[in-house]
Amino acid sequence: MIRGLAHVCFTVSDLKRAEAFYGGALGLKVAFEFLNNEGRRTGLYLKAGPRCFIELFEGKPVAAPQGISFRHICLEVSDINAVVRDLRQRGIKVGDVSLGKDQSYQAWLSDPDGNAIELHHYTPQSWQAPHLD
């Protein structure tokens, strides 16, 4: 019934700044944009993997209502040490790489609006490994 995760969506306070972070710093490519009736860009889709996107809309982010359980998004990377090194060279604050309980490597950062992002690198011992195909 479910094919996969299609997209996650964030309201961002500054669309250009968010695009610079997700598109520039993280290297995601813009798939398409949303324009209002005056032709002003109000949102965009960024490709985050096969059939997977991050959707951004400009607006006023609001605090999550009590009881909302969202914690973070997780992006799979092929070489976590290289990605962390590259992001740090670009001035992005990224936590140290660590091996999680699931036997996958992880490092943490936040987008310009404070949304938590986990970078995730599977290992042959990752608990997810038997389920990746």
Q: What is the CATH number of the domain that holds 20?
A: 3.10.180.10
As a whole number of angstroms, the distance between CA 65 and CA 110 comes to 20
Phi and psi torsions of 103, nearest 5° = 65, 25
Quick one: pLDDT at residue 33?
Answer: 96
As a whole number of angstroms, the distance between CA 60 and CA 126 comes to 38
Give the structural domain span for 123. 71-133
Together in a domain, 121 and 92: yes
Each of the 133 residues of the chain gets a pLDDT tens digit; together they read: 877 889 999 999 999 999 999 999 999 999 999 999 999 999 999 999 999 999 999 998 777 777 777 889 999 999 999 999 999 999 999 999 999 999 999 999 999 999 999 999 999 999 999 998 7
- With beta carbons less than 8 A apart as the criterion, state whether 81 and 35 touch: no
Together in a domain, 78 and 133: yes
Together in a domain, 76 and 126: yes
Quick one: pLDDT at residue 87?
Answer: 96
pTM of the model: 0.88
Domain count, the chain: 2
Q: Is residue 66 part of a domain?
A: no
Instruction: For residue 56, give both structure tokens.
Output: 């951004």
Together in a domain, 28 and 82: no
